[in-house]
Structure 1
Amino acid sequence: MTDDTGVSVRLDRPATRIIALYGAYSELLLALDARNLLAARTVADAQLPELADLPAVGTHMRPNAELIVAQKPDLVLQLAGRREALLQTEALRKLGVNVLTFEMDSFDKMFGVLEKLGRLTGRERQAAGLIRDWSARLAALRARNAGRKPLRVFYEVRYPNLLAAGQGSIVNEIIAAAGGENVVGDDKKLVRFNEEALIQADPDAYLIQKGPMNPDPQPLTERAHYRDLRAARAGRVLVVDEDRFARPGPRSVEAAEELEKWLHPADEREKQ
């Protein structure tokens, strides 16, 4: 198996002790009914009830190499992109640990990773079935929204020091599948956005993620410069779960389906 950074790993048999350093991998492996293959988890994955009893090996960005090696994994999975995480990855490889890193900033890439996880765990058939199901649900969403003028959407990752979801994120794909259009045109995953640019963009709908990056978001109506936004005036403001919307995985398709219902209520869909 060759990962997205060009590194190859060869296993003599399907992996039986896996450590996922990014929660999306854990959720995908759970969807493959591969809970028994997970040897440890990150601190953040304690929130997943199925993994709460597993030993923790640090965080996604700062995994503890000593704790990882002690678990004797035959495979460690990491997310590509963040320099700090990649430095930790190289340190693990120098200790003889098999590490594969992948990008998952789109549905297509997520499906590609799921197919690879199926091969790595001997669950190719289960992976293919999930990909067929999720692809069909996305196709149904896109068909319903074909020809419809998309609603312009802003996705708040963090406030204050406003941070937005850009084009290079699973959030962007969720918005598009739901019949929306991301007003942030930058191709990065996360984009620093000032209030002047937001006021100029004046989105139809405003999504506020709540989670580790935005733990206690202030209501839009309490922000002096935001009250006159089109979305605020129309009441089109929705607080969403960070893990559900910003972390690619089994819940990403559900997030798109839920967002479509909110952006385009049933009565509006019937009129069209």
Structure 2
Amino acid sequence: MFELRPRGGGPAPVAVFSLGRQVLPRTAVEEDPDLLHAARAWLAARGSRELRAVDETGSSICAERFTLSDLGSSATQAVRKVITLAPSNAELVASLGCFERVIACEDSSDSPPETAKCERLGPDLGPDLDRVAELRPDLVFSSLSVPGMERIVTGLRARGVPQRVLAPRSITDVIAEVRLAGADLGVPDRAEEVVAAMEAEAAALRQARPPRAAKVYLEWWPRPMFTPGAACFTNNLIELAGGINVFADRPGASVEITPAELVAADPDICFVSWCGVALEKLDPDNLIRRPGLEALRAARAGRVIRLDERYSGRPGPHMLEAARIMARAIASL
């Protein structure tokens, strides 16, 4: 539920969003069509690409499929000044050999090493968008890979800042976004080299998979428990590693589950890959000792593995390293 605060003040009408339906006051949409853009961004951050906006009576306002290109805006000149607003986007620009154009990034970007010299704009879910506008970038690479980032995309739009919005749901999407970024930056040939390397790595992983897929649980966060759902690129990584996500049937990109649901899913192996947590601070024993998971066979057998979130949680050229790490663990079962 969201309060829609009018720019000129006055009573704030309410909007209610879910993946299946978005309820908006018709009058508010007529007065501010950007509300539909905000609804699309909210949906994209949760893995959906289908808008079903209705008014208070349930009558349709807009029903359509949309693309991420609908959410961004093109650069108006050659792209020489770039801002990245997600660690995966910084790595993408670097893979294209263009990081020298990056003038600022959000706080959690740590690769390539040159990020240390960039101006920092604040946390990934709350960068200083006024400062972004002041820097007058030719293009911002924004993201909708995490719920909450829709506020950034809509905030950039409100400030008239050109942006390429990235939110891949599969390796195929990542490859398409590499090509889009290559076109934006004027380096399409380099983009094709990155794509070719990723495709070759994926093919090698696919060929090495065991004949029987292992049931895999990957944990984004321990309390409450979050895991990838149907609309997450991580499913592809698990498949390339020789596994299948036990919650791949759940709608959305990231879904909350209960200990009882995990026990019922009965994975063969579990990976802890908590968002924003360094590899050395990941604690497999947290899952093994967690109340409610006493009957989880994988935990009892010690089949809980650390997985660096810099690979599993950053959709880009380095993501296949997560598949390699999982493949080694699955091969040892």
TM-score, normalized by length of structure 2? 0.73
CA distance in 1 between partners of 2:180 and 2:241 (Å): 27
Q: State the SS of the aligned residue for 1:19.
A: strand
As a proportion of its length, which structure holds more helix? 1
Aligned pairs for 1:108-187 within 5 A: 108-145=172-209, 148-184=211-247, 185-187=249-251
Which residue of the partner structure matches residue 288 of structure 2? Answer: 221
Amino acid at match of 2:219: E
Distance 1:3 1:76, change over 3 A: farther
Aligned pairs for 1:235-254 within 5 A: 235-254=302-321
Q: Which runs of 5+ in 1 are unaligned?
A: none
CA distance in 2 between partners of 1:27 and 1:161 (Å): 29
Give the CA deviation at 1:117: 0.7
CA distance in 2 between partners of 1:22 and 1:36 (Å): 17
CA distance in 2 between partners of 1:139 and 1:40 (Å): 35
CA distance in 2 between partners of 1:259 and 1:88 (Å): 32
Amino acid at match of 1:67: R
Q: State the SS of the aligned residue for 1:44.
A: coil
Q: What is the aligned residue count? A: 264
Select which of 197, 200, 206 maps to 2:264.
200
Q: In the TM superposition, what whole-angstrom CA distance separates every residue of 1:199-256 from its partner, at most 9, and x where no partner exists?
A: 1111100111144269654613323433432212333210111221111112211111
Aligned pairs for 1:22-37 within 5 A: 22-37=86-101
Which residue of the partner structure matches residue 82 of structure 2? Answer: 18
Give the CA deviation at 1:129: 0.8
Q: Does the 8 Å contact 2:87/2:111 carry over to 1?
A: no
* Runs of 4+ deviating beyond 6 Å: none
Greater gyration radius: 2
Q: State the SS of the aligned residue for 1:250.
A: coil
Q: Does the 8 Å contact 1:170/1:247 carry over to 2?
A: no
TM-score, normalized by length of structure 1? 0.88
CA RMSD of aligned residues (A): 2.4
CA distance in 1 between partners of 2:331 and 2:250 (Å): 25
Q: Does the 8 Å contact 1:107/1:173 carry over to 2?
A: yes
Q: Which runs of 5+ in 2 are unaligned?
A: 1-65
Distance 1:226 1:91, change over 3 A: closer
